[in-house]
Amino acid sequence: MIELSKPEEVTVAEEKKLWGGRFKESTDELVEKFTESVSYDKRLAPFDIAGSIAHVKMLEKQGILKKEEAEKIIEGLNEILDEIESGSFEWKTELEDVHMNIEKRLTERIGSVGGKLHTGRSRNDQIATDVRLYVRHEIEEILELLKELRKAFVKQAEENLDVVMPGYTHLQIAQPVLYSHHMLAYYQMFKRDAERFQDALKRVNISPLGSAALAGTSYPLDREFTAKLLGFSGVTKNSMDAVSDRDFVAETIFNCAMVMMHLSRLSEELVLWSTEEFGFIDLPDAFCTGSSIMPQKKNPDVSELTRGKTGRVYGDLMAILTILKGLPLTYNRDLQEDKEPLFDAIDTVKLALKVNAKIVSGMKPKRERMREQAKKGFSLATDVADYLARKGVPFREAHRIVGELVAYCLDKGNGLEDLTLEEFKQFSDKFEEDVLSLMSVEGSINSRNIIGGTSREQVESEIDRIKEEEGFE
């Protein structure tokens, strides 16, 4: 016997999903929990609404929507944005994602005309558009933060031009360098990072809107028009690629991972330098923490955590690459998993950049200790070998002679600077009076007067060049 539907079943049918037309059963609660993304993609709301408004303006221009309809939808969307920004918007897990939460609210507010918003569009090109707008916005912010950090390094370099320190290879004292030169090495890393983000923008800032579900659409949409309204520099050229491409997400996370790697290297140095054993640097109190048991401790936790958080961001990169590797064209729901790693990498890198810019601005080199160490470990040995080579001794032989000199000093418990001319001459008759004046850290540093070298002249001119290029005060 066929039962007629009861009134409450009608209610159930009305509460069906926006995509629920072909479904007889409602979604299992566990599946809702498993498939929802609104708990995290709601942060895309401002971009989602901007994309929708551009889409509606275009639909009106193309005569697909009437003027009054478009106006009503745009007004509704703006009101929803206000609700979201003021915190009064009620996000619903059962509405799955940011798109459907907003669309549902739109029809609640303005009635069935709200249903026309999605004309000629799919969530597949919609989410691709939202994520691109979001990434573009975040890259602009990261570029600003990278610039602040670079400025801090240049300031350290400029204010401490007379500070000398040992330069290391293999973490063994190698040759004396200017502390400023060391600071500007970090400047270079973060400059390259900025260039990398800038370059990524070329691929990020392209509009996939109008690709629809995967094949394009039969509506006469003006894709160039929406792209222009949204500030994109062009439109994607293949709808199937456009809805499934997340290369720009992977690329952005990689760029974040690279920044973190550089910050982590810096952190490692700051952790070492702030130990009793190195004693090279005083970190600002506000960026260190104490111990709950040992009253004397000042721990470089921020640097340690920067090093640690680098691991998270590498994890984010592994996640996105792994998510993408097995996907057939075109959109697959796996792609929803792009967001959490992306958001995590971006949030982490932004916070790490902010806090490290403050550390770099506030740290103080301990110049006496650095100078003392700059002379240790026979750091002037290369200068002595170069001296002999300049006097015509083949460099390999000069290297051997100075090696023997070092062994001799080690036996005597001396440094090279303690040797007399007579002692030098025992190892080579090419040594003359002037070798003794070579034995100064400044002399050694300033002799490396070559582009990219550590001499004061080179470092000063590099600071000038950077300030000019970056427009630093």
Task: List, by residue number, the catalytic residues.
Answer: 170, 291
Contacting range for ligand ARG; rule: CB under 6 A; set: 164-172, 244-252, 333-341, 355-363: 333-341
Segment 411 to 450, residues that bind ligand ARG, using CB under 6 A: none
Provide, rounded to whole angstroms, the least separation between the CB of residue 263 and ligand ARG. Answer: 29
Q: Is the peptide bond before 217 cis (omega within 30 degrees of 0)?
A: no
Per-residue mark of binding to ligand ARG, 78-107 (x: CB under 6 A): -------------------x----------
Segment 19 to 78, residues that bind ligand ARG, using CB under 6 A: 37, 41
Provide, rounded to whole angstroms, the least separation between the CB of residue 104 and ligand ARG. Answer: 14
Among 205, 336, 356, 428, binds ligand ARG (CB under 6 A): 336
Task: Look up residue 351 and give its two tokens.
Answer: 């916070």
End-to-end, the C-alpha distance of the chain in Å comes to: 86
Q: Which is nearer to ligand ARG, 97 or 193 (CB)?
A: 97
Provide, rounded to whole angstroms, the least separation between the CB of residue 142 and ligand ARG. Answer: 22
Segment 155 to 184, residues that bind ligand ARG, using CB under 6 A: none
Q: Which is nearer to ligand ARG, 121 or 123 (CB)?
A: 123
Instruction: Write out the DSSP string of 384-410.
Output: HHHHHHHTT--HHHHHHHHHHHHHHHH
Q: Which is nearer to ligand ARG, 37 or 160 (CB)?
A: 37
Among 70, 80, 335, 388, binds ligand ARG (CB under 6 A): 335
Q: Which residues contact 229 (CB under 8 A, 6 or more apart)?
A: 54, 57, 58
Q: Which is nearer to ligand ARG, 282 or 334 (CB)?
A: 334
Contacting range for ligand ARG; rule: CB under 6 A; set: 6-14, 120-128, 150-158, 204-212: 120-128
- Judge whether 421 and 436 are in contact, CB under 8 Å: yes
Provide, rounded to whole angstroms, the least separation between the CB of residue 331 and ligand ARG. Answer: 6
Please state the three-class secondary structure of 55-78 as a single string. Answer: HHHHHHHCCCCCHHHHHHHHHHHH
Provide, rounded to whole angstroms, the least separation between the CB of residue 126 and ligand ARG. Answer: 7
Among 127, 242, 317, 319, binds ligand ARG (CB under 6 A): 127
How many residues bind to ligand ARG according to rule CB under 6 A?
10
Provide, rounded to whole angstroms, the least separation between the CB of residue 120 and ligand ARG. Answer: 16
Give the span between the Cα atoms of 140 and 149, in whole angstroms: 15
Give the span between the Cα atoms of 395 and 407, in whole angstroms: 18
Provide, rounded to whole angstroms, the least separation between the CB of residue 336 and ligand ARG. Answer: 4
Give the span between the Cα atoms of 415 and 379, in whole angstroms: 10
Return the percent helix, strand and coil in the chain, to nearest 5: 65, 5, 30
Give the span between the Cα atoms of 406 and 408, in whole angstroms: 5
Give the span between the Cα atoms of 193 and 473, in whole angstroms: 22
Task: Look up residue 462 and give its two tokens.
Answer: 């590099």
Q: Which is nearer to ligand ARG, 310 or 336 (CB)?
A: 336
Give the span between the Cα atoms of 458 and 473, in whole angstroms: 20
Q: Which is nearer to ligand ARG, 41 or 386 (CB)?
A: 41
Q: Which is nearer to ligand ARG, 327 or 421 (CB)?
A: 327
Angle between helices 123-159 and 179-204 (to 10 degrees): 160
Using rule CB under 6 A, residue 211 touches ligand ARG: no
Q: Which is nearer to ligand ARG, 69 or 103 (CB)?
A: 103
Provide, rounded to whole angstroms, the least separation between the CB of residue 207 and ligand ARG. Answer: 17
Angle between helices 179-204 and 456-470 (to 10 degrees): 30
Strand partners for 289: 299
Give the span between the Cα atoms of 232 and 172, in whole angstroms: 50
Give the span between the Cα atoms of 136 and 357, in whole angstroms: 22
Chain positions contacting ligand ARG, by CB under 6 A = 37, 41, 97, 123-124, 127, 331, 333, 335-336
